[in-house]
Structure 1
């Protein structure tokens, strides 16, 4: 539907959908462990961290919308076209590693959900999840709206499960409000948990995916049509990520209401399931497991789609859809099976490991995004205002600093120093080889 026709609600519905595919990355199993740990250990005190993370996510995903519609390129295509080939190849490899790490976390989360619901061994659950997502993605032949509908249904399932559990848990709503508006860190360990929440929130593949799928809507090439599309897509982003915020907040609130008062610190997904049964009943634990399965399944769908976007965007290489999906899934399934087979009782540690890998790649996605959208020669009249660019770079710096802290605690000082020097050197090199605006676009 062309922008400008129909009423405002009809125009919004025409653009609704892409942000919901992105939002599942903000409520994937990789976030659950930190939310459970934060709520069970500190009650409602770290709710403000989830709120701050969500606001940062909204800002960055909105920039993806602006770039995708204004430049008519996704982030991968822009990196390929505006950086020299060696830099683009390096960025592509780093992004593929991040996608595999993210997919491993989501596959493991789905496998844990199957294990809790049906007693299925984790390794078998990983394989079932992998082949199941291929079946769901096959529905894209009937139109992209179908896959969006599936993901929205899974997101609604997650939301409903936690809404019911919240009613049963009866949290202290005054405490919830205080935790949202009063930043605090009760002790030094709370900083580590907060860094885990913040550092694992913004997923690199979400930036590539959103800048691509926002272009699936038919938009006229006129400035007015693009401006209207940006407004509608921005509203879609805010609404979808607000839902993701509510889910993440609900996980922490549930842990605070059920476990914190009893002195139970929960850091394992299976542990939360077992403790919910005697506290709120078997139905509550079942809803928790269903939400976990829906979270992992929806996240694997979007991660696989992101893999396709990244491969085509960076390499300009196209292959049959089923082959692309098979490659993406295989790259995640193989390490996931190995990990759960060798450490099936340490799923949270595995999830944290995947978040560390993601954190290492994140600066290579967020800084190019802000750089592109702040370049008037690329964006034209849709370039970021100076104040928006300043805020965006500040957010990028903060996220990078928090991820450095996460790496410090995870890999040690020597490795951290090497990583920082590598990132700094690569950033300087990438800036140096950034192509001038006069360089002609390569064919998409």
Structure 2
């Protein structure tokens, strides 16, 4: 029988207890309150512009021009919906998604979901390790194995920021997002894209479905965009705000959290679209239609654009993107372990465990197979993420559609239908992507 509030088990501890309700949200005006709530959305948006997204955006732009911009837009709209549900779950129930799964499902199911989520976080961390190592090599000539080893040091930065308060961590993430955005604004200006073609690219066409190669990359973009660990992360970090714990306070918090994540995800849309637009304007236009690896794009940017420094700016954006993703990955790992298992270990130990799981395979591949091997590993990490995504999306939609858990905040019929449709579309497309990828490896 369901317990109090529709949950089978009581919540054992608040999510991220060391920063829970630590940020005041008082403000005399709507804008000041929006600023007080701003932050969690940007930590979430980082996952939508991490190095794992770059390969699919580069491949789509260089091969098919601007045609797949509509897929990036559709992916972003799906992300806005799912992250809105995630923040609502956290604010209304006082549980993050991991805690909700633990308190609803049997211990065996919850344990299986935890294992799948840890695999997804390790895969995401793998993409961040490889992306940061590639950026260090492109900028400073550091060999890939050494660059991979250096990425372990980011644990010191995370520990320092956690001791300084959650707002400091948010400020650094927002600053790095601004660096990535500024770099790609520069790349957009010097690549001089055809703005008419860009506008037409945001309109979906039947060619995307009828062309198998285009469909494959389109599904890759979808799979690389919506990250499963972001749903766990967002449902937790919205609870760092000290809103009134009554119906009116929660309603206001849900509204401002949705505004925060929507604005932040708009920045993520700009950066993903900019990567594809730069690839289309620089590579597709000059006949370099096979550019899919980050190293190739870096090597060709300056000679094709005729602007010195274009390649360095590209690598700087990649480094900022990779480092940003490691910060949010740390939090996601902590949230998932504490939420599913109620197991609390020191953040530095948790970070080293997660990073070791990512560093070991990345280092082995870099040493024995070089740059081409790490590029393939980057794609493989996105396939793993795609496979795990549905195991986070379906519980999220189920919980937010359950009146016994959400009360008056339950999803409306239209929202429920829309959310389940998005969940089903993601599941079907990711299974198709997994099948096609495995078939390609076999052949």
Same fold (TM over 0.5): yes
What's 2:379 paired with? 352
What's 2:335 paired with? 309
Coordinate RMSD, CA, aligned: 1.6
CA contact (8 A) 1:102 1:355 kept: yes
Mapping 1:253-268, distance limit 5 Å: 253-265=277-289, 266-268=291-293
Tell me, in whole angstroms, the C-alpha distance in 1 between the residues paired with 2:206 and 2:297. 25
Closer/same/farther in 2, CA of residues 133 and 247 from structure 1, 3 Å limit? farther
Mapping 1:17-416, distance limit 5 Å: 17-185=39-207, 187-265=211-289, 266-280=291-305, 281-346=307-372, 347-412=374-439
Tell me, in whole angstroms, the C-alpha distance in 1 between the residues paired with 2:388 and 2:287. 36
How many residues are paired up?
A: 415
Tell me, in whole angstroms, the C-alpha distance in 1 between the residues paired with 2:188 and 2:68. 17
CA contact (8 A) 2:61 2:68 kept: yes
CA displacement, residues 287-323 of structure 1 (integer Å, 9 cap, x when unaligned)? 1000001111101111111000000000111122222
CA displacement, residues 180-222 of structure 1 (integer Å, 9 cap, x when unaligned)? 0243436321011101101111111000000000101111111
Gaps of 5+ in 1: 416-444
Q: 2:36 aligns with which of 14, 19, 32?
A: 14
List structure 1 segments (4+ residues) > 4 angstroms apart after TM superposition. 1-5
The Cα of 1:2 is off from its aligned counterpart by 5.7
Closer/same/farther in 2, CA of residues 290 and 3 from structure 1, 3 Å limit? closer
Tell me, in whole angstroms, the C-alpha distance in 2 between the residues paired with 1:158 and 1:405. 32
Gaps of 5+ in 2: 1-22
Closer/same/farther in 2, CA of residues 137 and 244 from structure 1, 3 Å limit? farther
| TM-score when normalising by structure 1 | 0.91
CA contact (8 A) 2:70 2:202 kept: yes
The Cα of 1:331 is off from its aligned counterpart by 1.9
Tell me, in whole angstroms, the C-alpha distance in 2 between the residues paired with 1:42 and 1:150. 35
Mapping 1:424-443, distance limit 5 Å: none
What's 1:432 paired with? none
